[in-house]
Amino acid sequence: MRNTFKTIALLAVLFTTVMVSAKDLNITADSTEQSLVFEMEAAKQSTTIRIMDSRLQEIYGDVIAAGTPYFKKFDVSNLISGNYTVSIEDSLKRINYSVTIDGDTLEISKPKRTNKPVFRKKGDRIYVNLLNLDLEDIAIAVYDSEGRRLFSETNNADQIVQKAFNFEDAKNDSYTVMVRDASHTYYEEIVVK
């Protein structure tokens, strides 16, 4: 009886988690109408949706303002058979779906989520935070305005990557903090006067 209760409680938690994550964006494929249907409740921050071909050339792009619900139906019947990528991005994450069109068949893969680094400036300091659940190699570097590398580090052992850079005693210049994961590079600049 006790194990049954625990199992039911665990399933309820899992179901609730799925429902919460599904509230962000729901993408469904309608093979009968050859369309992709996007539905999202009002997001807390601006969100970009892009559909790209196999060469990552953008076919369609849209920016959804914060606080705006979104519903759109994309007719993909005129697209040639092949693989496409649907990318949903905000300031904290990028979610990619692979879409395969094969004649009248339309399939969507499970989403692949990539967390983006968060840069926070406070005076002459920059704080970097990144959630690295896949334990990918994360390279962090600092460059001056002439492109000289002043700091470099690679981290793949921590799920939470945190770094703070203090430019209070640095000479007057502009500095770039670079964070690179397996597929993307992010930059933040700070000017010391």
More confident call, 20 vs 45: 45
Which sign, positive or negative, has the C-alpha torsion 133, 139, 145, 147? negative
Rounded to two decimals, what is the model's pTM? 0.71
pLDDT of 29 higher than 90: no
Q: Using CA atoms, how far apart are residues 57 and 74, in angstroms rounded to an integer?
A: 17
Confidence of residue 16 (pLDDT cuts 50, 70, 90): very low
More confident call, 175 vs 24: 175
**10-12-13-15 Cα dihedral, nearest 10 degrees:** 120
pLDDT of 11 higher than 80: no
More confident call, 133 vs 83: 83
Amino acid letter, 11: L
pLDDT at position 3 is 44
CB count in 10 Å sphere of residue 25: 20
More confident call, 171 vs 6: 171
pLDDT of 98 higher than 60: yes
By mean pLDDT, which of 19-23, 45-49, 134-138, 183-187 is the weakest?
A: 19-23
pLDDT tens, residue by residue, 112-121: 888 999 999 9
pLDDT of 146 higher than 90: yes
pLDDT at position 24 is 67
pLDDT of 73 higher than 60: yes
